[in-house]
Amino acid sequence: MTRYAKETAKGIEILALEEVLYSSREIFLTEEVNTDTSVQLIKELMVLEKLDPTKEVTLYINSPGGEVISGMAVYDYIQMMKAPVKTVCIGTAASMGAMLFLAGDKREMLPHTRLMIHDPAFGGGNMAGKKPHELQQYVDKLKQTQDIIVDIIAQKTGKSKEEVRDTTKEDAYFNVAEAMEYGLATGIYNKLNDTLGNENLVLL
């Protein structure tokens, strides 16, 4: 594990890389969106907001997507936060990963990253033996989820719901220029922050 030494009034303090990033209010989503990753993200966001509700939090995203309910819990929490949140795409933010990218007040991408948005899809399970009304209930739930996703994308991009529906009927990939033109991204993240941010911090 990478560690750093920091000189403080109390002497030399040893910090793990994650502690250095956390102290800079930088957190990461680099896995699928599921119950565990969403709960962990919400916990981290809660702590950072309690520490200072006025300072920006940066959420770096490289995720293939995942569970809608888990992802929307994180999205909703970010929308309720007083602290501003900047999201940064550092690879591919796809599906629910892209929706969490849209949660940011500022939404930036590294120059060679991409976003992918699409309609919700059947998430697995055995549909054999289901009665017509049971199948219809599932379709109705998918439609409700689609409406939520379309509403969010339309709100964040300024596109009409009809335009968004046309875009998301198939997997739609966007590079940085395309994402900015569509309104998904607000800028290019072309200068990495000084994550260490302290001249007294030394790599061990």
Catalytic residue among 23, 70, 95, 133: 95
Catalytic residue among 38, 63, 70, 118: 118
Known active-site residue 118: yes
In order of 15, 112, 117, 142, 202, the CA distances from 88 in angstroms are: 24, 12, 16, 28, 26
In order of 43, 44, 108, 150, the CA distances from 74 in angstroms are: 10, 11, 18, 17
CA distance 179 to 197: 30
Known active-site residue 133: no
Sign of CA dihedral 20, 106, 110, 188: negative
Active site (catalytic) residues: 95, 118
